[in-house]
Structure 1
Amino acid sequence: MASYRFLLLSSLGSLPLALAHPGLNIVRAANTTSVGPSVASNATVPATATAPANVTAPPVVTYSTTQAHTPFTGVPTTTGALTAGPVGPGIAPQGINPTATTYPSDGQLHNPQPGPYIPAGGVGTNGETPVYNAKSDFDYESLALALYQEYIELDLFHDGLARFSAEDFTAAGLTAEDRFLIEFMADQEVGHATMLTNILGAEAPRQCNYIYPYTTVSEFLDFCQKLTRFGEAGVYGFLSHLDSREAATLLTLSITTEARQQMIFRQFEGLFPMPVWFEVGVPQSWAWTLLAPYISSCPENQTRLAWQNFPALSILNQPNPVRINGAEAWRETISNGTNALNSTAVPSSQTCLNSDTVGVDCSPAITHNRTNPLSWPGREVYLSWEAPGQPVGPNNSYVTSTNAGAPKYVAWVTQLNVTYSELTLNGSRAGSTIQPSVETYAGDPAINGTVFIAITDTDLYVTPFNITMLNPHVVAGPALYQSG
């Protein structure tokens, strides 16, 4: 019989446990998980393999599909983000590391090869057995944030299916097969939550109670599209910075599924599925700012997060994808931050949901091209934002804050770019700006799809790898701008 190896991650048990099984090589310990090496070099693997019988799959996390979805009404017993003193002054720019540009990059090999067909270098390539755990506070807090995200998606997809009838979905252009796809995406989140829980250990965050702003299927789909957008982008922002390369590998395998979910929801609401050349990454505090308002309450002694909650940012003329001319929308959103669309505010004569005209029709489809773009370079965008100090998130126990100075710019974070436009103030917490005209590379408009914007006090130069340097300069936001 062939030798099989299964990646079974577990944080159960307080004592190391070696489990022997034909083809199975697992080591379990409290809060750590390791997986044995690949098939030994002296193993014989037949050309035709037969799966071993009676292999028990590892268990998944427990979860509920009957959450109350009611606002929190109590008094928080703890407020503010998780902290550990002393807190330093922040990260100062250090310039370029002198060793960063020493590799000649000439296509030749410059060091002895550790084995046949293996070039020298790489991280985690020295033969050590990988251990899939958090290796720093940064790791734990980042992975915990990702787990909060997986749990809300698990609940969100179930809630939409439970809240709306089959007739409601049919009226929105979705069939029973489409509903099954949403159910399957909820099942995917069970796996993602299980994987992250096993990496984090016994103190991993658990499922919470959530509140959602949507009242129609179209609003549900748009909210899902935007929530999966910042869930995906929030992981891309920290993935390459994790100390645990092993955990990063597993998270990569889950977040690529999340990217597919975001594309599916774009198709469900009649948007072009992938109107960009590159997906964007944003800091953890940006993702937590967008996520936290939809968490009503969490279990007692829930693991808290260290990330910042910025003041909420609203887009007053957020383009509305269910309008024939989406750019004509004014105050047609049901939430700030995500700025999800309001479908009931659109007159029946202006909706594109029931049209069969090419270029106008925005019913669910593999792809649509719109005659009227949702936005364009030179469009004036009107914004308003909250003052800091607002309670938000689980049990109203987090508080929005900013360390920035006076608002001066709008940062447009999309694909490989962070582009700034000047902010014209109209009061203390309102203003407007002009959508920039910028390309990632020639032929690729950088501002397209669902992008992130934030109010800042400076036009700091940052790139995808160090975008967190912008956090001290964020006055409000981020907000999701539906540019295409």
Structure 2
Amino acid sequence: MKSGSIVFLSLGALAAAAPQVTLTPLSGPIPPVRSSEVTGPTSHGPFSGTPTVTGALSRPATAMSIAPAGSPVVTYTNDNGDLQATYMPVPYQPAGGQGLNGTTPYYHPLSDFDYESLTLALYQEWIELDLFHNGLARFSVQDFEAAGLTAEDRFLIEFMADQEVGHATLLSNILGPAAPPQCTYNYPYNTVREFIDFCQKLTRFGESGVYGFLGHLDSRESATLLLQSISTEARQQLIFRQFDGLFPMPVWFEVGVPQSFAWTLLAPYISSCPANTTRLAWQNFPSLTILNQPNPAKTNPNLGTPQPATGSNPLNSSGIADSNRCIHASGESSDCGPAISQNRSIPLSYPGRPIHLSWGNVNQTVGPNNSYVTSRSPLADAPRYAMFLSQLNATYVPLLNISGNTASVIQPNMSTFAGDPAVNGTIFISVVSQNPYVTPFNVSMVLPYVWAGPSLYQAG
């Protein structure tokens, strides 16, 4: 096992004015380039047509991977806690910092990296807006109450959908006229419990996908606005975990993942988009399925048959024996109904647990209009390791019993600081060919070696 401990910690600028943070009494709000108050398509389901274009946006690449370039040149150190510069720009402002020279903030992309990253974030905000509304519309009051969710809880979900209106409007204004609109979606849930669990998983890779690129944006102004948006999404993920009967925040640090990880997880749930919708440049890796995904709908996830393995492992709450169904179970430590905090007497997973994996192939069509194609780099020459990406760690564990498109791996025993278990909550697992040392800020260095995945592992 090799461990790289990483200190880890969503419309071009044309004639449209940048959104303003401060308005004078004589000015009014600048109208959005595209209003997100339109609810978008009302139909849901899989795409059944023929794609008119396939593949991610692309230009010739200058290399297959980015070679390590060594440590940066560091010109500042502080060992005594005193100010090191001999001046201050203005009183009470230490020397240094970016964007503090009085220039007017410009809230638009400054590079293709910015544009594609922010467009991915907008795809995520659109699906969340539709998802929250769809769950409320699909299930009855009785269905929600049977899952332990009251009228106040349903109103909170509606309010979270309203938050997504603001997030989608913000990103549309930043991107400009080519910002993608809302699409049509295909959801994997059939019960309220499955809806809530899917929400807590979708908001996890939405949140982590932004953390992965936020610090790399050329546009610091756009990054500031996006951070204010994703901070709200983090709270949404916490709420859905509480609704799901899970401990709300079982980690010390939230993980950040590369854009291609987020897009690989998101794309299968987008069935189709309107013609000429802006396309993405990020990669779609072959899917990865965890065949024995821990099931938070069970009191003891180790009993009974594993939940049916489908794609990125959304919860399946059917086929569970009544004696092992944790919703409304007797005993405070056995029940998994909605709660501010829940301690489970039997953990969902544990170090040493065997995890069984299965993966898809390259050249499979996925995503909007089946117009994206799964691929991997030539540098990903064989499946050798499972990478557990969680909190401050990227840990590689050798695959066992590799046979065709299946293998097994043992859940590692790893921690961050002072014994904080790194494998907790919803973490990311990928199958990779090599084990490069990465940290939270350069985790994308692993992408050329990804064989399949990621998949979300419900570790806690």
The alignment's TM-score, normalised by the length of structure 1, stands at: 0.88
In structure 2, what is the Cα distance between the partners aligned to 1:359 and 1:419?
Answer: 31
Shift of 1:366: 0.3
Question: Could you tell me which residue of structure 2 aligns to residue 230 of structure 1?
Answer: 205
1:206 aligns with 2:191: no
CA deviation vs aligned residue, 1:362-415 (integer Å, no higher than 9, x gap): 000001100000001111111111111110000000000111111111100000
- Aligned pair in 2 of structure 1 residues 66, 140: CA closer, same or farther (>3 Å)? closer
What letter is aligned with 1:456? V
Which consecutive unaligned segments of at least 5 residues does structure 1 have?
1-10, 13-27, 40-51
Conservation of the 8 A alpha-carbon contact between 1:451 and 1:483: yes
Offset at residue 56 of structure 1 (A) = 6.2
Q: Higher mean Cα deviation, 283-292 or 324-333?
A: 324-333
Q: CA deviation at 1:327?
A: 3.5
Q: 2:248 aligns with which of 254, 273, 295?
A: 273
**Corresponding residue to 1:455 among 393, 414, 431:** 431
Which amino acid in 2 is paired with 1:77? T
Q: Distance in 1 between matches of 2:30 and 2:178?
A: 23
Q: CA deviation at 1:258?
A: 0.3
The 2-side partners of 1:281 and 1:329 are apart by 34
Q: Find 2:83's aligned residue among 104, 109, 124.
A: 109
Deviation at 1:58, TM superposition (A): 4.6
Larger deviation, residues 327-336 vs 243-252: 327-336
**What residue identity is the alignment partner of 1:444?**
D
Find the counterpart in structure 1 of residue 295 from structure 2.
Answer: 320
2:366 corresponds to? 392
- Seen in structure 2, the aligned counterparts of structure 1 residues 65 and 395 have a Cα distance that, compared at 3 Å, is closer
| Counterpart Cα distance in 2 of 1:242 and 1:32 | 20
Work out which of the residue numbers 146, 152, 170 in structure 2 matches 1:171.
Answer: 146
Tell me if 1:357 matches 2:331: yes
Amino acid at match of 2:387: A
Q: For 1:138 and 1:54, how far apart are their aligned partners in 2?
A: 33
CA RMSD of the aligned region, Å? 2.0
- Look up the match of 2:412: 436
The DSSP-based 3-state class of the residue aligned with 1:95 is coil
- Residue 474 in structure 1 maps to residue 459 in structure 2: no
SS of 2:128's equivalent? helix
Q: Which among 296, 318, 334 is matched to residue 271 of structure 2? A: 296
TM-score w.r.t. length of structure 2: 0.93
Residue of structure 2 aligned with 1:243, choices 205, 218, 238: 218
CA distance in 2, matches of 1:226, 1:38: 37
Q: CA deviation at 1:195?
A: 0.2
**How far, CA to CA, are the matches of 1:36 and 1:207 in structure 2?**
25
121-130 vs 143-152, greater mean Cα deviation:
121-130
Shift in Å, 1:64: 2.0
In the alignment, is the contact (CA less than 8 A) between 1:324 and 1:350 conserved in 2? yes
Q: Which residue of 2 aligns with 1:72?
A: 47
The CA distance in 2 between the partners of 1:391 and 1:344, in whole Å, is: 29
The 5-angstrom pairing of residues 405-420 of structure 1 reads 405-420=381-396
* 2:287 partner amino acid: A
Residue identity opposite 2:146 in structure 1: A
Whole-angstrom distance in 1 between the partners of 2:429 and 2:21: 44
In the alignment, structure 2 segments of 5+ residues that lack a partner are: 1-10
Q: Which residue of 2 aligns with 1:84?
A: 59
Please list the CA deviations of residues 316-335 of structure 1 after superposition, one character each: whole Å capped at 9, or x if unmatched.
Answer: 11000010112446441463
What is the rounded CA distance, in whole Å, between the counterparts of 2:112 and 2:447 in structure 1?
19
Matched residues in 1 for 2:37 and 2:275: separation? 16
Residue-by-residue CA offset, 1:74-123 (whole Å, 9 max, x unaligned): 111110000123554332211111x2364234312122110101000011
Structure 1 distance, partners of 2:211, 2:308, is 27
Alpha-carbon distance in 1 for matches of 2:23, 2:436: 46
- Percent of aligned positions that are identical: 60
Amino acid at match of 1:388: V
Q: Which has the larger radius of gyration?
A: 1
